[in-house]
Amino acid sequence: MKKPIVAPSILASDFANLQSEVEMLNESAADWIHIDIMDGIFVPNISFGLPVTEAIHKHAEKPLDVHLMIENPENYVENFKKAGAASISVHYEACKHLHRNLQQIKALGCLAGVALNPHTNIDHLKDTIEEIDFVCLMSVNPGFGGQSFIENTYRKIEDLKQLIVDHGAHTLIEIDGGVNQKNAAQLIDAGADVLVAGSFVFNSSDPKSTISDLKNVMDHA
């Protein structure tokens, strides 16, 4: 079975020791570093922005996966590319012109992703799926870390996988929220390619070991 791409979410890290947290991820089996950008408008929380992303990039040896949970993302994607983003996801719910947004991100040389809130049906992506490098399915309501996983996500992954196959697309499926050792194997089995894990990684006694366990989850299933 395939090994998932593991993308620890820096939102759950110790911000007072951000450099050492990034260096820990560099030494780990993590593939990407997931960065949640929140504006307090699209989601009811504020995280951090360009200066912190730049600081992370200065020390990171893994690609930065920037998740824009913000209004009017088209106004900021170029600056996040300059700050070090390798992939950028925008929310379907925040984009009036999704196809244009995707083309904008691709033109910058980044992987272009679309994030869907738990209530948003994957059918909304049927006209753009071939343009999307990865879909980030929110398996919790966006805005806060440490929330409980929404069980309907498994069915949503299967439906999205079918949409991808039906259109002959090569889109990856990313799961963000409540991912842990208990549900990781089932997520991969349903069709997920990328696992974002925040609290589960950074609150563990041995984050590097936890990341390795997620990376090798199918070996232990």
Which residue numbers are catalytic? 36, 176
The residue behind tokens 């991100």 is 105
Residue 159 to residue 180: CA distance in whole angstroms: 22
Instruction: List the one residue out of 20, 177, 194 whose CA is nearest residue 217.
Output: 194
The residue behind tokens 């949409």 is 163
Instruction: List the one residue out of 183, 39, 163 whose CA is nearest residue 173.
Output: 163
Asked if 6 contacts 31 with a C-beta cutoff of 8 angstroms, the reply is yes
Q: Which two tokens stand for residue 92?
A: 């379907």
Q: Which two tokens stand for residue 154?
A: 């498994």
Residue 30 to residue 207: CA distance in whole angstroms: 10
Asked if 161 contacts 193 with a C-beta cutoff of 8 angstroms, the reply is no
